[in-house]
Every structure is written in structure tokens, then in C-alpha cells.
Amino acid sequence: MSSFNVSDTGYYGSFGGAYIPEMLYPNVEELRANYLEIINSEDFQAEFKELLETYVGRPTPLYFANRLSEKYGAKIYLKREDLCHTGAHKVNNTIGQILLAKKLGKDKIIAETGAGQHGVATATVCALMGMDCTVYMGEVDMARQKPNVERMKILGAEVKAATSGSKTLKDATNEAMRHWINHPDDTHYIIGSVVGPHPYPDMVARFQSVISQEIKNQLSREEGRNSPDYVIACVGGGSNAAGAFYHFLENTEVKLVAAEAAGHGVATGKSAATTFIGKSGVLHGSKTLLMQTEDGQVVEPHSISAGLDYPGIGPMHAHLFDSKRASFYDITDEEAMIAGVELSKLEGIIPAIESAHAFAVLKKMDFNKQDVVVINLSGRGDKDLETYIKWGKY
């Protein structure tokens, strides 16, 4: 049977794997050899569940959106990841990885961050666990995302500027890798999405899969069935979508829908819609789809939402696209902003602009009245207030 899950060797179809420098092999291999046994142990699961409940606030509600349902002619539910501690789904993964790091005997954590959201989630759980935390961030990004830099510092993390290259995410990633190579024994590197070398995409998907596990339980109570007709989520690297899709991957009656950031439009050269304009290549240690020039140079992405501003997509999603298991929609900055304001006015929920991309898909789909649709509301919009204000059309 073909599977949409990871293979034993770390592949999703032809995507995935671990394309890493020799020097990094021992670190990644230690993780690969141990992650499943640790994650599946009763001990680990008990601690993970306890923290998700008492610290993150899980289970997050599955909310029936009455007015939105009326407008689009379907039964629309929102999975409220925006109500997680720190305001988005990212913390599900950072809690899982920090528990795993402790079991591996590590007492230091490093991470890289672009917009700072993954850095804040990492700094948060390091404070929670009393772990030493270093976050690498491009110098340019540090200037653009000052409030998140200060948040990380308040939480006790050290923020180190990456000053090479374009001084953005890719340079921060290089610095973090270099650090990890030099400190393999006491340090764990937390990656924030379903990207990077195997086993990261699978590990992160497993931690985020709590989202679709809860959707199943909650739908059973609400609708008397444990699977919806549609699950819709935005995709940057793809971790919130992976979590929302996970327990439905092999159930092909559930239609999986992914929203990608098209920025100014896929044909403008200012977008982050990887599945529309990307080609197969190697990025951050895995074979996947990425936006690149003819000779394989990574193209700088653009999206109004910092969390979707990424030139690639995780290997699971590359395979979901390639195999047509999921349908992908390209959503422009403007369409996302309109959808974000619409959700605010119809339901009293201001979404993160990343999440607003998932809501913009509603206008492009045709539903039957009885269709059960779940939209993963990955984060809240507080962090995006300035962008809403600058856009101004509300």
C-alpha cells in the first residue's frame, strides 16, 4: 500500500532523506536512532500530555463557526490553535523536542528563527525547563522583528546575530548548524517546522499530530463521525498543516487542502508559493520542492506573513502535492488580509495573517450544505496588528 507517511528510511515518496555535511552526521544519527523509542515510551507520553494540558491549554476548542458556515454554505469548524500558550501551534513542537532533548541528556538548546515566532516558542519552553537557550537570528531580521527579540531576552534566551550573507533566516540556519557541529554532546537543535533532515519532519509531525487527534475526538462528539470532509490549513514549512492532516493522511475520503502564500501573485517573482513555482532540490538537509533559479540558487521568498515567508516546503507536503493527495491553493497577500478581516467581523476572532491564508481558500471552493469542514486556525493576530493597520482596509 502506498503511504503518505514517512518511510523507514525517512522518505515521503521521492522527497525527504538526510542530505547533510559529514560533520553533522553523528548529531542527526543520534536523534534518528533514538527518537521513536523515546517518543513512544509511556513516560514520555505522560509528561508530554501533562504539559500540553496544564501549560499549553490543550485540548484547544473545536469551534463551530455559525456565521462563517452560513456565509459559505457548509458546516465550518475552527480548530483553535490560536488559543495555545504563546498564541500559535508552534509550542506543541517545542515542548516535544525539549522533552526529547532532556531524555537524550542534553542541557543546552539552540534554534534559528526568521520572524522570531519559533525563537519565542523555544525560549519559552527553555525557561519552563531551566535549559540554556541560544537563538540565532539574521541581523536584518533582528532589526525588523525587534519585539520578538526582546521577548526572547525577557525569557532568558541569548539572541545571537547572524552577520553573514543576506543576514536573514538562511544565514541564521548556517550559524546554528555550525554551533551544533561544535557542540554535539550537550546541545539539541530545535527545528520549528516539518523541514530539515530526517528525522525532523517526522518528529515534528508527530508532535503536532495532537491537533488531528483532538479533531477526531471532538468531531465524534459534535457530529457523530470522527472525520471531516475537508481539512484546510496554511503551509509555510508545513507543521500546522501536518498536525491537522496527520490522522487523516491515509483516509482518502478526507480531502486535504493547503493554502500557500502567493505574495503579490505567483507570476510576479514576489511570492512564497513553492508548489506553484518550485522545483525539486535540496534545502536545509532534505530533498523537497523549493523556489530556485535555473542554476539552483534559492530564490528569496516574499509573503506579507512572516511565518509563510519560506522558499521551500516540507517533504511530506511536497509528496502530498506530487501525489495529488492534497490540493494546493495560492493565496495573495491581499486575499489573505481580506479573509483575516472577514473572520474578525463574522466571528470575533482576529487571526494571524498566516492562518488568514487558510480562510481565503473558502472563496475558491464549492461546498455542499452538509459538508463538514475543519479549518486549522494556527495562530492569533495580536502579533500582526501593525500589518493590519498598515493595510488599513477594515
Ligand X SMILES: *Cc1c(COP(=O)(O)O)cnc(C)c1O
- 169 scored as a contact of ligand X (CB under 6 A): no
- 352 scored as a contact of ligand X (CB under 6 A): yes
CA atoms within 13 A on the CB side of 271: 23
Only one of the segments 166-174, 233-241, 264-272, 323-331 lies at the binding site for ligand X (rule: CB under 6 A); that segment is 233-241
- 376 scored as a contact of ligand X (CB under 6 A): no
Is 90 tagged catalytic?
Answer: yes
Using the minimum distance from each CB to ligand X, give the nearer residue, 75 or 197. 197
Using the minimum distance from each CB to ligand X, give the nearer residue, 52 or 181. 52
- 237 scored as a contact of ligand X (CB under 6 A): yes
Only one of the segments 183-191, 268-276, 296-304, 349-357 lies at the binding site for ligand X (rule: CB under 6 A); that segment is 349-357
From the list 209, 212, 227, 378, the catalytic residue is 378
**C-beta of residue 199 within 8 angstroms of C-beta of residue 314:** no
Is 112 tagged catalytic?
Answer: yes
**C-beta of residue 124 within 8 angstroms of C-beta of residue 131:** no
Cβ 113 to ligand X shortest distance, Å: 10
**C-beta of residue 32 within 8 angstroms of C-beta of residue 199:** yes
Is 170 tagged catalytic?
Answer: no
> Distances in Å between the alpha carbon of 3 and those of 231, 246, 258, 316?
18, 12, 19, 11
Pick from 242, 243, 245: nearest CA to 230? 245
Residue with the closest Cβ to ligand X?
Answer: 379
Using the minimum distance from each CB to ligand X, give the nearer residue, 193 or 212. 193
Cβ 352 to ligand X shortest distance, Å: 4
From the list 79, 90, 106, 287, the catalytic residue is 90
Using the minimum distance from each CB to ligand X, give the nearer residue, 188 or 357. 357
Binding mask 260-299 for ligand X (x = CB under 6 A): ----------------------------------------
Cβ 376 to ligand X shortest distance, Å: 9
Cβ 186 to ligand X shortest distance, Å: 27
- 235 scored as a contact of ligand X (CB under 6 A): yes
- Phi then psi for 102, rounded to 5 degrees? -60, -45
Q: Which of residues 79-108 bind ligand X (CB under 6 A)?
A: 88, 90
Length of the chain: 394
From the list 112, 260, 342, 347, the catalytic residue is 112
Cα–Cα–Cα angle for 20, 26, 27, rounded to 5 degrees: 80
- Total binding residues toward ligand X, as defined by CB under 6 A: 18
Cβ 349 to ligand X shortest distance, Å: 13
Using the minimum distance from each CB to ligand X, give the nearer residue, 196 or 379. 379
End-to-end CA distance of the chain: 49
**C-beta of residue 174 within 8 angstroms of C-beta of residue 146:** no
Is the bond preceding residue 59 a cis peptide, omega within 30 degrees?
yes
- 258 scored as a contact of ligand X (CB under 6 A): no
The strand pair at 326-332 and 132-138 is best described as unpaired
Question: Burial code of 324-352, b = ≥16 C-beta within 10 A, e = fewer?
Answer: ebbbbbbbbbbbbbbbbbbbbebbebbbb
Residue 153 and residue 159: Cα distance in Å, rounded? 7
- 117 scored as a contact of ligand X (CB under 6 A): yes
Residue from 236, 301, 312, 340 in contact with ligand X (CB under 6 A): 236
> What residues contact 58, with CB distance under 8 A and at least 6 apart?
52, 84, 92, 210, 214
- 378 scored as a contact of ligand X (CB under 6 A): yes
Taking only Cα atoms into account, the Rg of the chain, rounded to an integer number of angstroms, comes to: 19
Using the minimum distance from each CB to ligand X, give the nearer residue, 119 or 371. 119
Residue 49 and residue 61: Cα distance in Å, rounded? 16
SS3 339: helix
Largest CA distance in the chain: 57
Residue from 92, 134, 148, 193 in contact with ligand X (CB under 6 A): 193
- 356 scored as a contact of ligand X (CB under 6 A): no
Only one of the segments 10-18, 99-107, 212-220, 236-244 lies at the binding site for ligand X (rule: CB under 6 A); that segment is 236-244
Interface with ligand X (CB under 6 A): 88, 90, 117, 193, 234-240, 307-308, 352, 354-355, 378-379
- List residues with catalytic annotation: 90, 112, 378
